[in-house]
Amino acid sequence: MSTGESVSINEKKIDGYIKKLGIEKAVNINVSKIRGELKTKYIGHKIYAFQEVDSTNIIAKFLAGVGVEEGTIVIARSQIKGKGRRGKKWESPLGGIWLSIIVHPEISPQQASLITLGAGVAVTKAIRKLGVDARIKWPNDILIGDKKISGILTEANSKFHTLDYIVVGIGIDSNLDLNSISKKTKIRATTLKDELKRNIDERILIKNLLEEFENIYEHFKNEDFEEILYEWRSLSQTIGSYVVIEQPFGKILKGYVVGINNQGSLILELDNGELKKVISGESHITEISKI
Ligand code: BT5
C-alpha cells in the first residue's frame, strides 16, 4: 500500500471518529498562525483544534492508534472530563491551554516515564520565558511559589514489549478565571494572568512550549536522559526540600530529598538516615517545605 493511500484511509477514519464524537473544530484557535510561527522540525506540524472535548488525551490516544504523524497535537478550548493522574480530575474551563502531544519514540517502555520529567522541563522553561519563577515539583507539577500552574499526564501504550506511542497531556492555567474552578482546587492553584496581572498571549506560550518540548524530546529519543535530568534538577523545587510522600496502600515516607537518579526516581534520606529510592508514577509528594 502506498503512503498516499494509507494517509487517506487514516484521514477517513479520523473524520469518522470526530463526527461520531460530535465535537466542533475550534474556529478561534488560529492553527495555521501557530504552525506558521513554529520553529520546530515536526512537533506541532499537524494540529487538531476543538472547541470542547471530554479530554484531549482520549482523542490523542485514538489518533496515535491510527498512526498519525510524529508530533501531532490535539488542543481544546475546554474539557468536560479533563484527566489528572490515578483517576483524579483536571478542571479545564475556558481560558486555559489544554493540549496533548503524540510521539512514537523507539525506546523501551521502561524508559517512557522519563518523558514526563522532560515535558515538565519544557513547560517550566516556556513559562519562565514570560518572566515568572516557575519550578517543578516531582514528578509532574509545575508550581509558582506553592501554587500549581500546570500539570502533565503521560499515557503510553506498548505492543509486544515495545512502545507503540506516548501521549503527553499538558494543562496550563494561562488566562482562566480562578472562580471558574472549584474552591478546593482554587486555593492551591494560580494562573499566569494572576501572576503577571495581564492576559498573556497564549499563541506565544504554545509556540515556546512546543519548541522547548521538541528540544527535550530530541534528547529523549536519543536516550540522552542525563541532559533531561540535568535540566530537571536545575528547575526543581523538590531537591533540597523536606517532603512527605504518599505511596500505594497509604504508606507514608518522610525525608530530605537528596537527588533524582537516572530513572527519574527520587532519592530520599529518611529521618533515620537510611537512603530510599521512590519511584515516580507510584508515589507523590503531599507536602513540601524548604529547609
Ligand atoms: C495532573 O494530574 O496534574 C495532570 C493534569 C493533566 C492535564 C492535561 S490537560 C490536557 C490533557 N488532557 C487531559 O485530560 N489531561 C491532560 P495530578 O498530578 O493527578 O493532579 C490533579 C490535581 O490537580 C487535582 O486533584 C486538583 O487538586 C488539581 N487540579 C485540577 N485542576 C486544576 C487546574 N486547572 N489547575 C491547578 N490544579 C488543578
| Residue 283 in contact with ligand 1 by CB distance below 6 A | no
C-beta of 120 in contact with ligand 1 (< 6 A): no
Fold of 242-290: SH3 type barrels. (2.30.30)
C-alpha to C-alpha distance for 169 and 171, rounded to whole angstroms = 7
For atom 34 of ligand 1, which residue has the closest CA? 91
- Residue by residue, pLDDT tens for the chain (291 residues) are 444 455 576 888 999 999 999 898 887 788 888 888 999 999 999 999 999 999 999 999 999 999 899 999 999 999 999 999 989 999 999 999 999 999 999 988 888 889 999 999 999 999 999 999 999 999 889 999 999 999 999 999 988 788 899 999 999 999 999 999 999 999 999 999 999 999 999 999 999 999 999 999 999 999 999 999 999 999 999 999 999 998 888 888 999 999 999 888 999 999 899 999 998 766 778 777 765
* Gap between the Cα atoms of 243 and 252, Å rounded: 10
Ligand 1 in contact with 100 (CB < 6 A)?
A: yes
Residues of the chain with CATH 3.30.930.10: 4-235
Nearest CA to ligand 1 atom 29: 90
Give how far the C-alpha of residue 3 lies from the chain's centroid of Cα atoms, to the nearest Å. 31
| Angle subtended at Cα 208 by Cα 172 and Cα 102, rounded to the nearest 5 degrees | 70
Determine the Cα–Cα distance for residues 157 and 102; give it in Å rounded to an integer: 11
CATH 2.30.30.100 residue spans of the chain: 242-290
Contact of 207 with 164, CB cutoff 8 Å:
no
Q: Determine if ligand 1 sits within 6 Å of the CB of residue 82.
A: yes
User: Rounded to 10 degrees, what is the CA torsion of 35, 36, 42, 46?
Assistant: 30
**Helix, strand, coil share of the chain (percent; to 5):** 35, 30, 35
Q: Is the pTM of this model over 0.85?
A: yes
Rounded to 5 degrees, φ, ψ at 87 are 75, 5
Contact yes or no for 177/91 (Cβ under 8 A) = no
What is the third-level CATH fold of 4-235?
BirA Bifunctional Protein; domain 2 (3.30.930)
